[in-house]
Chains A and B, each alone.
Chain A
């Protein structure tokens, strides 16, 4: 089994629904998808993130005190909106989950394998 990160990417230009009438069906679809992943035993973790305006960047690479900056690490038109970590036997299985997740949350999903844990 390999763990995969399924990350949901949103672009600033995307017209995301804001009203509850539009959002509720998306929430429901994502809940149903999450449950399906859990029932299949593929669930590791997942969740949606607050908006990019809530981000803080910390740089502890220097010698002195860590530098704390308001805002995201990189100025970008696209940002991470949420993610799942799932467990799958191979990429085909992960891509199937990604397709379902993408349809549920109505966002493009990037699939990346985690590095193997050293044994």
Chain B
């Protein structure tokens, strides 16, 4: 509803306030008058009236013209699906590249996800006032700079869509491996990211990367309950596979198969495929590492980043041994990344180079604030004596 009001009035604050007032009115009226036959339509009509009232109250000349124009809305009656179209427009507006990345995340959670400022602030561990200001600034920029409410044209869609997917994946990852704070996993953020992923999938069913991202999140989330035990991180080989969520895995696998059939591979689809191979193995020893290494090769071709190279090296360790993998890892410039130290530590441990392994564990512990990860690394280190 916020999306549709925002499109009509071109003003996010007005749209949000009007929607809020309509809900309050519903809470007052419906218990007395009964729920109207079309509650959604009632809310939209009421919110539109509230918005027009507000424009009239704020009666500067410009606004009066606007109000007059809105009453005679020239856009033809909306065909079915217009609500979905409005939400999609809103997603692209919230994730516009002209907004700062942290503002994109906050706006998307607020306006598309419907989270409160307080919830978003606590999810990202910042003060509520700070988050409020961030959102206000972003909304002001959307209005002042005229960031459009529009799904980008076909030629711009891939680049703009990747900004949207990045926001959703960032929300998911912040939930799945919280960078700081008391809770190692924040399930509500994972759930919200998956909800956004499902929405995008519904809105853009033909985009393989959208399916890929949803599959990736489902296959990752399926393992969530087994990832931490007794406050300590449990890595993939040691997880209790019997407790993985089979329903999510089945859904993720179906999406990956759909992506393979389309044969338009991309970053998220390949990550999803890698996770599909992992979740396919009944036990860690049965993992098809050569397929995983191959998928990482493909992934490196589309995203040649050191982090992808690091993960590829983990697969290489299983195929060609820790010595070959360590040589690959040592070449990467990732010394501020905890996973680089943790990977090195594990490879050094397997090579029996205990002193170097201990130093690498120490570096990994120093580079992460996640409590479960610290606990796991500390125990691994102490096992070296």
A12 to chain B, nearest CB (A): 27
A residues near B (Cβ < 8 Å) are: 2, 89-92, 94-95, 111-113, 116, 118-119
Whether the Cβ atoms of B62 and A91 lie closer than 8 Å is no
- Interface class of chain B by DSSP: loop
Separation in Å of the B163 CB from the closest CB of chain A?
13
Q: Is the CB of B65 within 8 A of A91?
A: no
Interface size on B, residues (CB 8 A): 13
Interface positions of B from 107 to 152, Cβ below 8 Å from A: 144-148, 150, 152
Return chain A residues, CB-CB under 8 Å to B98. 91, 95
- The answer on a CB contact under 8 Å between B146 and A2 is yes
Candidate in B61, B98, B145, B152 with the most chain A CB atoms within 10 angstroms = B145
Q: A92-B152, A113-B144, A119-B65 are in contact. List 8 more A-B contacts (CB 8 A).
A: A90-B146, A90-B150, A91-B96, A91-B148, A92-B147, A113-B146, A118-B62, A119-B61
Q: Do the beta carbons of B146 and A119 come within 8 Å of each other?
A: no
Residues on B with C-beta less than 8 A from A111 are: 145
10 A-B pairs whose Cβ atoms sit less than 8 Å apart in the complex: A90-B146, A90-B147, A91-B148, A92-B150, A94-B146, A95-B98, A111-B145, A113-B145, A116-B62, A118-B62
The 10 closest A-B pairs by CB, nearest first: A90-B148, A90-B146, A91-B145, A113-B145, A91-B147, A2-B146, A119-B62, A91-B146, A92-B148, A113-B144
Closest-CB distance, B224 to chain A (whole angstroms): 38
Chain B residues, CB < 8 A from A95: 98
User: Binary interface profile of B, 143-176, with partner A (CB < 8 Å = 1, else 0)?
Assistant: 0111110101000100000000000000000000
Find the A residue at minimum CB distance from B98: A91
Residue of A nearest to B149 (CB): A90
Which of chain A's residues has its CB closest to B96's CB? A91
> In whole angstroms, how far apart are the Cα atoms of A76 and B237 in the complex?
56
Secondary structure class of chain A's binding surface, majority of residues: mixed
Q: List the A side residues contacting B96 at CB < 8 Å.
A: 91
Q: Which A-chain residue is minimally distant from B147 (CB atoms)?
A: A91
B97 shortest CB reach to chain A, Å: 8
B45-81 contact mask (Cβ, 8 Å, vs A): 1 or 0: 0000000000000000110010000000000000000
Residues of B within 8 A of A91 (CB): 96, 98, 145-148
Q: Please give, as numbers and ranges, the residues of chain A lying within 8 Å of B144 by CB-CB distance.
A: 113
Instruction: Please indicate the chain A residues that have their CB under 8 angstroms from the CB of B145 in the complex.
Output: 91, 111-113
Measured in the bound complex, the distance between the Cα atoms of B98 and A118 in whole Å is 26
In angstroms, Cα B136 to Cα A84, docked, is 29
Closest to A88 in B: B146
Q: A89–B62 Cα gap in the complex (Å)?
A: 18
Task: Report chain A residues within 8 Å CB of B150.
Answer: 90, 92
Tell me the bound Cα distance from A111 to B97 in angstroms.
Answer: 13
Return A63 CB to nearest CB of chain B, in Å: 34
Measured between beta carbons, the chain B residues less than 8 angstroms from A94 are 146
Q: Which residues of A have CB within 8 Å of B156?
A: 92
Cα(A90)–Cα(B150), bound, Å: 10
| A119 to B62 alpha-carbon distance, docked (Å) | 6
Q: Closest approach, in angstroms, between the C-beta of B192 and any C-beta of chain A?
A: 27
Query: In whole angstroms, how far apart are the Cα atoms of A89 and B145 in the complex?
Result: 10
Alpha-carbon distance between A19 and B145 when the two chains are bound, in angstroms = 38
In the assembly, what is the distance between CA of A113 and CA of B98, in Å? 13
Question: What's the Cα separation between A112 and B144 when bound, in Å?
Answer: 9
Of all chain A residues, the one with the shortest Cβ separation from B156 is A92
Q: How far is the CA of A84 from the CA of B103 in the complex (A)?
A: 28
Residue of B nearest to A117 (CB): B62
- Distance in angstroms between the alpha carbons of A112 and B152 in the assembled complex: 21
Docked pose: A20 CA to B384 CA in angstroms: 68
Give the chain A neighbours of B152 by CB distance below 8 A: 92
Give the distance to chain B from A98, nearest Cβ to Cβ, in Å.
11
Task: Name the residue of chain B whose CB is nearest to the CB of A90.
Answer: B148
A95 to B148, CA, bound (A): 12
Assembled-state Cα–Cα distance A2/B144 (Å): 9
Complex-state Cα separation, A94 to B98, whole angstroms: 11
Chain A residue, CB-CB nearest to B65: A119
Which residues from chain B contact A113 at a C-beta distance below 8 Å? 144-146
